[in-house]
Structure 1
Amino acid sequence: MSGILDTVNLRTQMVGQNRLELLLFGLETDQIYGINVFKVREVLQCPRLTEVPRQTTSIKGMAHIRGETIPVLDLSEAIGRTAVPKDEQQRCFLIVAEYNKRTLAFLVRKVDRILNTHWDQIMAPPAEIGVENYLTAVFEYESRLIEILDVEQILADLYPMSTKVSEEVATSDVKTKAREYHVLCVDDSSVARNQMQRSLEDLGVKVTTCNNGKIAWDMLAGFADKGIDVTEMFLMMISDIEMPEMDGYTLAAMVREDPRMDKMHIVLHSSLSGGFNVSMVKKVGADGFLAKFNPDDLAGVVIERIQKLERTR
């Protein structure tokens, strides 16, 4: 265990295309779950929590960690399982993570190990299980299925967020121009896709969505094989980074390497945070990075692209 606690922060600096490292953890059953190490700030034994008055959600309290007060989310309760009893909390662990510009700690029963793998080994969950769940991907390891939770969906349910673009950003002139353009959005999280689609359609642009990088690449390559100029078809591509089968870094790099589409404008859009993304955006040839999720910020990068094209006409 001490090895995991000592190396999590170091491993978050790892750079690799289509690679990921999963921190494996458990809740109240024998099922093993995984979280991308890039999102993990640290792992520690759960301290005594400060209770939240009139607490009515799976937020169990607050932890004071390294001078910062961080809300603690009981991950079991958040996904509809049995909550950790109060007298057992200090025998559990906190995974301190950053999602969508928010720092919070996940209360889990155990932390297992860090597993090095590739995104092409991570599969989308079977379509037959439907969309009303918190599962975003699965991974087979040692004859067991490791589940990767859709934390963005969990947080969206806990902290509902408006997708409406403000009138100051989406002016009538902007909406008139936006109707002429088409944006490709790529994300494995259904809540993230819906957020982007609603915000951009509120702006006025047409939106096509893909569930992961491989689906997006196959679609773009298919269009190009038919002689269709995808850089004329799409104003830009906005892609998540973490996705099963093919991540956003690899998707961006492959688009840049294909002369039929290498001029496509690419923005990587992720709940991953930190300077790491700035260097990776440059490395794979993307045009920018946008942290999730703010509808005005999302609309802003689209408007900026539209205005730049309008000036060159």
Structure 2
Amino acid sequence: MAGVLEGVDQRTKLAGHNRFELLLFKLHSRQRFGINVFKVQEVIQCPALTQIPRSHSVICGVAHLRGKTIPVLDLSMAIGLPSLNRETGSYVIVTEYNRATQGFLVNSVDRIINIGWDAVKAPPKGAGRGGYLTAVTEFEKELIEVIDVEKVMKEVMGAREEASNELIDADFKGRGDHVMVVDDSMVARNQIKKVCDQVGVTCSIFKDGMEAWEHLNDLLQQGIDISDYYSMIISDVEMPRMDGYTLATKIKNESRMRDVYLILHTSLSGVFNTAMVQKVGANEFLAKFDPDELVLTVQKQLKRHHEQCAQ
């Protein structure tokens, strides 16, 4: 599995076509889980780990890889399953989420599959894993479960969710601004909403690109000007049914929507992001999750929006 990222240029071409590649892995049972290949740096056999005193019980220790020290999390424990045996050929999936590198301990790594986001669905209501699933799909007549890694990271590593008070511009309070937020992760939606609440901005929240697109078209059917109705749209990239790249492309190709300011806000990392923003016509890319950076970006666009409306 050392060559899991070979052919990354080819994978990049999938972005913007509502397709992606999913790395499949197992924890305890035959159940297969998935993670987007773009979040994976490499897959290695579990190396010797250094224990960290008083660390979270889910953290197995830290690994020293290529001059970097990264925490390794037992992904099975993180979602409420029994801990994995770390001495029986287990693997570590090295990933980059939210500007940080970490490893996830798994029992085995299966394969990489190429699928369309339209084949990825929201998890059924009442699904197990304690709400740790962000999506499901089917492969070889088996259900593949996609874990909400942002929720895992927040619970284990912690995260500051509110922007610094000194960055809040009181001039924006009470202006009636309205922002569309599109994200399949409940944690991410709540994080963005908290920042918007600090600025006094109303949010309409949608769980995937398809739901957001249908809503926007409903507004058009009512004769509503999207650019007036929404001061901006903040959209995740990875989402079931319709990803953020596809949503951005559809919005910017629709003459009655293209003027709305669109931010792609994602934990995906890599140099391809800037090129993809330009390709799909989004106005800005923002890496998750820094509340200070988000609030400054939101306030900057709100100011621009008010100036445009005043002209």
> TM-score, normalised to structure 2's length?
0.94
Could you list the runs of 5+ residues in structure 1 that have no partner in the other structure? none
In the other structure, the counterpart of 2:111 is 113
Contact 1:123-1:139 at 8 Å conserved across structures: yes
1:163-218 per-residue CA deviation (whole Å, 9 max, x = no partner) reads 22212211322335xx3210000000011001111111111111110000000000
Are positions 1:263 and 2:249 aligned together?
no
The CA distance in 2 between the partners of 1:242 and 1:53, in whole Å, is 35
Aligned to 2:167: 169
What letter corresponds to residue 50 of structure 1 in structure 2? T
Of 296-305 and 209-218, the range deviating more from structure 2:
296-305
Matched with 2:72 is 72
Corresponding pairs, count: 306
Q: Is the 8 A contact 1:268 1:286 kept in 2?
A: yes
Distance (Å, rounded) in 1 between the aligned partners of 2:123 and 2:271: 31
Percent of matched pairs sharing the same residue:
45
Q: How many Å separate the matches in 1 of 2:3 and 2:129?
A: 37
Which residue type is aligned with residue 47 of structure 2?
A: P
C-alpha separation in 1, matches of 2:21 and 2:86: 31
Shift of 1:133: 1.2
Distance 1:252 1:39 in 2: 21
Candidates 288, 292, 297, aligned match of 2:293: 297
* 1:61 counterpart residue number: 61
Q: Secondary structure of 1:198's match?
A: helix
**Residue 9 of structure 1 contacts residue 42 of structure 1 at CA under 8 Å; is this kept in 2?**
no
- Pick the aligned partner of 1:276 from 272, 276, 282: 272
TM-score by length of 1: 0.94
C-alpha distance in structure 1 between counterparts of 2:293 and 2:268, whole Å:
16
Q: Deviations over 1:92-139 (max 9, x none)?
A: 111000011110000111001000011001011112438941001001
Distance 1:42 1:19 in 2: 21
Contact 1:9–1:40 (Cα < 8 Å) also in 2: no
Q: Give the corresponding residue for 1:41.
A: 41
Residue 193 of structure 2 corresponds to: 197
Deviation sequence 1:205-238 (CA, Å, 0-9, x none):
1111000000000000111112111111000000
Give 3-state SS (helix, strand or coil) of 1:85's partner. Answer: coil
Provide Cα deviations, 1:66-99, integer angstroms capped at 9, x if missing partner.
11111100111111111123433xx111100001
Structure 2 residue 214 is matched with structure 1 residue 218: yes
The answer to whether the 8 A contact 1:49-1:62 is kept is yes
User: What is the letter of the counterpart of residue 288 of structure 1?
Assistant: E
RMSD: 1.6
Which range is displaced more, 128-137 or 66-75?
128-137
C-alpha separation in 1, matches of 2:67 and 2:6? 17
Separation (CA, whole Å) in 2 of partners of 1:207 and 1:228: 17
How far the C-alpha of 1:22 sits from its partner, in A, is: 0.3
Contact 1:183 1:236 (C-alpha < 8 Å) held by counterparts:
yes
Which residue of the partner structure matches residue 31 of structure 2?
Answer: 31
| Residue in 1 that maps onto 2:8 | 11
The amino acid across from 1:72 in the alignment is: V
